[in-house]
């Protein structure tokens, strides 16, 4: 039995990599299972982990979702799980998932430290499950490398030598720096790089639906266009003259502004805007609604202030849906084209 724990931070593409890797391993004749010890409920009232639902469909797993994902941990998880026998349940569920498999891909929680209060953080679980670890690096700036080095070093200090790292969803402006500088820094520290996957909006960028799930609120228009991809976010807290340049340069964007900023909302609707998010619970001018409906742009009204709204969407990432065949195929293509497949495959050799 070979176990591979796929760790990373929110939005690092852990699940997309797991999908692609699972399909490649199946091509090689492996019996692949998926296990996620600690999941996250989707949306505000969700009771299922969407990643597990996807992997269950992709791999045609027989186990129920509450076995594939023993725990769902939201920001207040201690209120419900403080006195539970957590590790015993995780190990019991793992044994059920692994029974008919020769490879188990283990999906990490949003961050490696989640549920550390109960000793169920990703590092502790990787040791308990005797799993090799691949860490997915989400590159946003130089601090991303500080974080990656820190986590790799911590894993090593705990007796887990990372099998490798994958730079995932790398923005085009940072590709050359990732190849020439970031990868060198990683390898100089003694940690392997197993791939550099460029950002592909069709698989990496969240949709309007995922913003709506994270924010809730009221959908004023555009219910039929929630599948639109959001490639950028523009905060409309400036004068209309200052905003116009930003609005014109950013394609397929989410524009976040107060509901009382009809001037800015109308200007945004004349550019490539995927969704308008209106904050403060202020219902917009009827002209905004009419123009958005004409342009088929979803408008989401939320009662949060702009700062809170930005915080809530900061960690929103693209989820591949079980019926999204194109994204599933792209996930496998990323593993084939941009990762060191022979080195990854070697992890599963007897």
Report pLDDT digits (tens) over 322-346: 777 888 888 999 999 999 999 998 8
Q: Which residues, 6+ apart, have CB-to-CB distance to 34 below 8 Å?
A: 18, 22, 52, 55, 56, 59, 61, 68, 97, 104, 105, 106, 107
How large is the average pLDDT for residues 248-267? Answer: 86
CA angle, corner 22, sides to 151 and 153, nearest 5? 10
- % of the chain with per-residue pLDDT over 70: 92
What integer pLDDT is reported at residue 42 of this predicted model? 66
User: What does the pLDDT look like over 201-238, one tens digit per residue?
Assistant: 777 678 898 889 888 889 999 998 888 888 888 887 66
More confident site: 191 or 201: 191
> What would the mean pLDDT of 243-260 be, rounded to a whole number?
80
pLDDT the model gives residue 62: 94
Q: What is residue 323's predicted lDDT score, i.e. its pLDDT?
A: 74
Q: Which of 27-36, 39-48, 148-157, 232-241 has the lowest mean pLDDT?
A: 39-48
Average pLDDT, the chain: 88
pLDDT of residue 154: 96
Residue 24 has pLDDT above 90, yes or no: yes
d(CA 20, CA 84): 34
Average pLDDT for residues 246-255, to the nearest whole number?
A: 80
CA proximity to 77, closest of 109, 32, 123: 109
Q: Give me the pLDDT at residue 240, please.
A: 67
Query: pTM of the predicted model, to two decimals?
Result: 0.79
How much is the pLDDT for 328?
87
For Cα atoms 225, 211, 241, give the angle at the middle one, nearest 5 degrees.
Answer: 85
Q: Taking residues 178-203, report their average pLDDT.
A: 92
Q: Where in the chain is CATH 3.40.1390.20?
A: 206-313
pLDDT tens, 78-125?
876 555 558 999 999 999 999 989 999 999 998 999 999 889 999 999
Dihedral angle computed from the Cα positions of residues 299, 305, 310 and 315, in that order, rounded to the nearest 10 degrees? -90
pLDDT at 82: 52
**pLDDT for 149 beyond 60:** yes
Residue (of 286, 301, 292) closest to 273 by Cα position: 292
Q: Which has more pLDDT, 333 or 43?
A: 333
Which residue is associated with the tokens 């130089």?
A: 142
Q: What is the pLDDT of residue 56?
A: 94
Domain with CATH 3.40.50.300 in the chain: 2-203+320-346
Structure tokens, 110: 């949003």
Fold classification of 206-313 is 3.40.1390
pLDDT tens column, 270-296: 888 999 999 999 899 999 999 999 999
Residue-level pLDDT at 239: 66
Residue 45 has pLDDT above 60, yes or no: no
- Cα(162)–Cα(184) distance, rounded to whole angstroms? 16
DSSP H helices, 250-339, are: 262-269, 286-295, 306-313, 325-338
Q: What is the pLDDT of residue 318?
A: 67
CA distance 231 to 284: 24
The topology under which CATH files domain 2-203+320-346 is Rossmann fold (3.40.50)
Residue count of the chain: 350
Specify the long-range contacts of residues 239-243, CB closer than 8 Å, at least 24 apart.
240/264, 240/267, 243/267
């Amino acid at each position: 039995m070979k176990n591979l724990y796929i760790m990373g931070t929110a939005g690092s593409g852990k699940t997309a990599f797991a999908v692609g890797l699972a399909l490649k391993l199946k091509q090689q004749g492996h019996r692949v299972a998926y296990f996620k010890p600690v999941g996250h409920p989707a949306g505000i009232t969700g009771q299922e982990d969407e990643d597990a639902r996807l992997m269950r469909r992709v791999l045609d797993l027989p186990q129920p979702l509450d076995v594939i994902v023993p725990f769902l941990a939201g920001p207040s998880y201690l209120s419900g799980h403080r006195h539970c026998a957590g590790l015993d349940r995780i190990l019991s569920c793992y044994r059920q998932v692994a029974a008919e498999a020769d490879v188990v891909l283990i999906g990490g929680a949003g961050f490696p430290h989640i549920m550390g209060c109960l000793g169920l953080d990703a590092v502790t679980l990787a040791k308990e499950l005797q799993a090799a670890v691949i860490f997915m690096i989400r590159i946003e700036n130089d601090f991303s490398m500080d974080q990656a080095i820190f986590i790799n070093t911590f894993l090593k200090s705990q007796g887990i030598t990372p099998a490798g790292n994958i730079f995932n969803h790398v923005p085009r402006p940072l590709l050359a720096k990732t190849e020439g500088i970031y990868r060198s820094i990683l390898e100089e520290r003694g940690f392997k790089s197993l791939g550099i996957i460029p950002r592909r909006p069709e698989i990496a960028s969240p949709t309007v639906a995922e913003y709506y799930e994270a924010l809730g609120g009221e959908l004023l228009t555009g219910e039929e266009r929630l599948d639109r991809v959001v490639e950028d976010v523009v905060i409309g807290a400036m004068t209309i003259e200052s905003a116009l340049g930003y609005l014109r340069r950013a394609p397929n964007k989410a524009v976040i502004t107060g509901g009382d900023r009809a001037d800015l909302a109308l200007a945004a609707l004349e550019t490539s805007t995927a969704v308008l998010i209106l904050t403060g619970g202020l219902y917009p001018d009827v002209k905004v609604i009419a123009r958005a409906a004409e342009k088929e742009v979803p408008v989401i009204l939320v009662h949060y202030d702009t700062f809170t709204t930005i915080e809530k969407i900061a960690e929103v990432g693209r989820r591949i849906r079980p019926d999204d065949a194109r994204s599933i195929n792209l996930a496998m293509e990323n593993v084939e084209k941009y990762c060191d497949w022979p080195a990854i495959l070697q992890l599963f050799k007897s």
